[in-house]
Amino acid sequence: MPSEALAKALARLEAELADLEARLEEERKALEALSPLPIYWRRVRCGKERCRKCPHGPYPYLKVKKGGRWRWKYLGKGWQPPEGFVRPREFLEALARYRALLRRREALLERLAEAERALS
């Protein structure tokens, strides 16, 4: 691909990334509004060597007390809202959307890295 076309592709990917970031931010706000408990957004390292996408996330967590100690509870797949969540179904739907957006961003970051490598 000529470098001009590559630069254009890169710009398009960057615009798409900005759009995704905005939607992720919206979903984070929606999740916070539906949760009776504060949600903590944590970026985590996957531990893979030379991972270009680290840290990942941010992922949603709750702080829960277990055996007298505070622990992080990851709101991942299979997690069910406990009592107190007024619209648990809506919350789970927003959670699924958020996770799908995160996956899309990871894929996009990969394509961006490839385009940047090709340009340099």
- For Zn ion, the binding residues (CB under 5 A) are 46, 51, 54
Minimum Å distance from CB 40 to Zn ion? 19
Name which of 93 and 106 has its Cβ closer to Zn ion. 106
Residues 6+ apart with CB under 8 A from 105: 17, 20, 21, 24
Any alpha helices (H) in 1-120, and if so which ranges?
3-34, 88-119
Minimum Å distance from CB 54 to Zn ion? 3
Dihedral angle, C-alpha 69, 72, 75, 80, nearest 10 °: -10
Name which of 33 and 51 has its Cβ closer to Zn ion. 51
Minimum Å distance from CB 46 to Zn ion? 3
| Tokens linked to 49 | 């060597």
Name which of 1 and 51 has its Cβ closer to Zn ion. 51
